A and B are shown apart, each in its own frame.
Chain A
């Protein structure tokens, strides 16, 4: 081998082979997205014809029908405003509680920390039955409040609290002390000194929280029953004929509408998004 190729050539050949192998492995990761978009632009008849990535006839009308088949615009808006509410509330409460745990001294701090950590051991599925009766008692069934309250105060909110606490603990104390000297209240220091210094942590919490809420499935399935209150993941499953058989062309067009904007944001901010997940390291 070394007679015919120099070391440098060998390195290039091995690099090319590796890259080709990675391309092959990448197929089941990329192809579902491409096929989803392509099939969402085919007619119901073409969708099970001979496979072709480029539709023979571009059925843009699917994207109109998606909105007339069920109140999809309303459902899209529901997902958007619920996810944004969950994100804002989680940022607020997690950074307040995280700050207290990181910086303030009070009797029982260790106990509170331990108490909250215990939440990380309990999947949502375990408490969902009592929470259903609690929400029923509060008259919140078939409203969006359970979909906001449970992620904010459930295990996910606690993860966010601990992420914020970790970050606050690593900040230099001097700036906050200087803020106190300048006459800021505790709340003022949190808002004007600590939070502006914590933008990376806030961004990470915002990213994982938004996606967590946007992708939530079990809670909407259990708490919401009327069509115009559905969130996206639930709405996507609902493009079926009266016998429950999926209307694939509509379902895949709708799924594209739900997925593609997230993917575009992901492509723009992939570094930040991947780092946020690495930081939380507890999901999945």
Chain B
């Protein structure tokens, strides 16, 4: 076969009219066919379309679509208190979720990266919410966080704390959706950190111990710097995930109370599928696209530097 491949005029018996090289190319396109066709129809096409939609004023109720240039973008990014309120909420959500998630993930990974009796049990427990549907997770926590009669507040009452009505007060609702989302997703980052920790040679630590370093010095001097690339990648994917959060918010608070947890993904859904303001919703989707693309490019650049 190697001999045939280097001979440009070699031909397969079944297709004598094709050179082997052309035959291989043809086969490759056939293999790629379904994926590429689906990609063009359900992804590339819609992506171009959403750019087009974002430049029109198109209200489904009036059934009319007119070209308005960048008006939808101006409507969002200009002096629109709704949009900036949503942007602020999304930023708070990300700034709360990402550090909490990463710190807890790292702490758990440090505790669970080496074998001890029960290590598998704990890893299994901390990862379990990741495989659970966001819908189920949100339903159960919404139940646990009910006002007076909710389990969390009943437990807090036992120790003398008068718990807030978690999902009915804007600030507490934000705290609640962030914390429950952290518990839901932290297992994933924990696993990535465990893999990175296990890739660090044990000799480094042993050598440092011989030099008389304590555990904290080993962490700050060896472990943390070596985890750097992993930390950056985890930071980016967790941030992207925080901008995409939809089902969790939809089911726990529906963006409320008083729009206190109205974040970007939910706002897009609301404008597009509840108020049918297709042009504006598409412009919002483009803004989300730009944010996520920028973060992804950062991640790809970091991975490349890393390898």
Given contacts A236-B135, A273-B131, contact A248 B31 (CB under 8 A): no
- Cβ-defined contact, A157 with B241, below 8 A: no
- Cβ-defined contact, A122 with B47, below 8 A: yes
Q: Which of A70-78, A146-154, A197-205 contacts B (4 or more CB under 8 A)?
A: A146-154
Is the CB of A116 closer than 8 A to any CB of chain B? Answer: yes
- Cβ-defined contact, B25 with A105, below 8 A: yes
Shortest distance between the CB of B129 and any CB in chain A (Å):
6
In the bound complex, CA of A271 to CA of B194 (Å): 13
- Cβ-defined contact, B50 with A104, below 8 A: no
- Residues in B29-59 with C-beta less than 8 Å from chain A: 29, 31-32, 34-36, 38-39, 41-47, 49-50, 53
Judged by DSSP, the binding face of A is helix
Residue of B nearest to A79 (CB): B133
Q: Which of B74-82, B119-127, B206-214 contacts A (4 or more CB under 8 A)?
A: B119-127
Q: Which residues of A contact B282 (CB under 8 A)?
A: 129-130
Q: Which residues of B contact A25 (CB under 8 A)?
A: 108
Q: Which residues of A contact B297 (CB under 8 A)?
A: 121
Is the CB of A209 closer than 8 A to any CB of chain B? Answer: no
Residue of A nearest to B50 (CB): A130
- Cβ-defined contact, A96 with B35, below 8 A: yes
Is the CB of B272 closer than 8 A to any CB of chain A? Answer: yes
- Cβ-defined contact, A29 with B143, below 8 A: no
Q: Which residues of B contact A123 (CB under 8 A)?
A: 240, 243-244, 265, 288-289, 292
Q: Which of B87-95, B219-227, B246-254 contacts A (4 or more CB under 8 A)?
A: B246-254
- Cβ-defined contact, B122 with A97, below 8 A: no
Q: Which residues of B contact A211 (CB under 8 A)?
A: 131
In the bound complex, CA of A35 to CA of B136 (Å): 12
Shortest distance between the CB of A176 and any CB in chain B (Å):
9
Q: Which residues of B contact A51 (CB under 8 A)?
A: 151, 154-155
Is the CB of B171 closer than 8 A to any CB of chain A? Answer: no
- Cβ-defined contact, B122 with A125, below 8 A: no
In the bound complex, CA of A33 to CA of B137 (Å): 9
- Cβ-defined contact, A112 with B32, below 8 A: yes
Given contacts A29-B125, A105-B24, A237-B251, contact A131 B46 (CB under 8 A): yes
Residue of A nearest to B42 (CB): A153
Contact of A15 among B116, B140, B141, B241 (CB under 8 A): B116
Question: Could you list 12 A-B pairs, sorted by A, with CB under 8 Å?
Answer: A35-B140, A92-B34, A97-B36, A104-B24, A116-B35, A122-B47, A125-B246, A125-B269, A154-B42, A233-B134, A236-B135, A281-B192
Q: Which residues of B contact A (CB under 8 A)?
A: 1-2, 21, 24-25, 27-29, 31-32, 34-36, 38-39, 41-47, 49-50, 53, 108, 111-112, 116, 118, 120, 122-137, 139-144, 146, 149, 151, 154-155, 183, 185, 188-189, 191-192, 195, 233, 237-238, 240-241, 243-244, 246-247, 250-251, 265, 268-269, 272-273, 278, 281-282, 285-286, 288-289, 292-293, 296-297
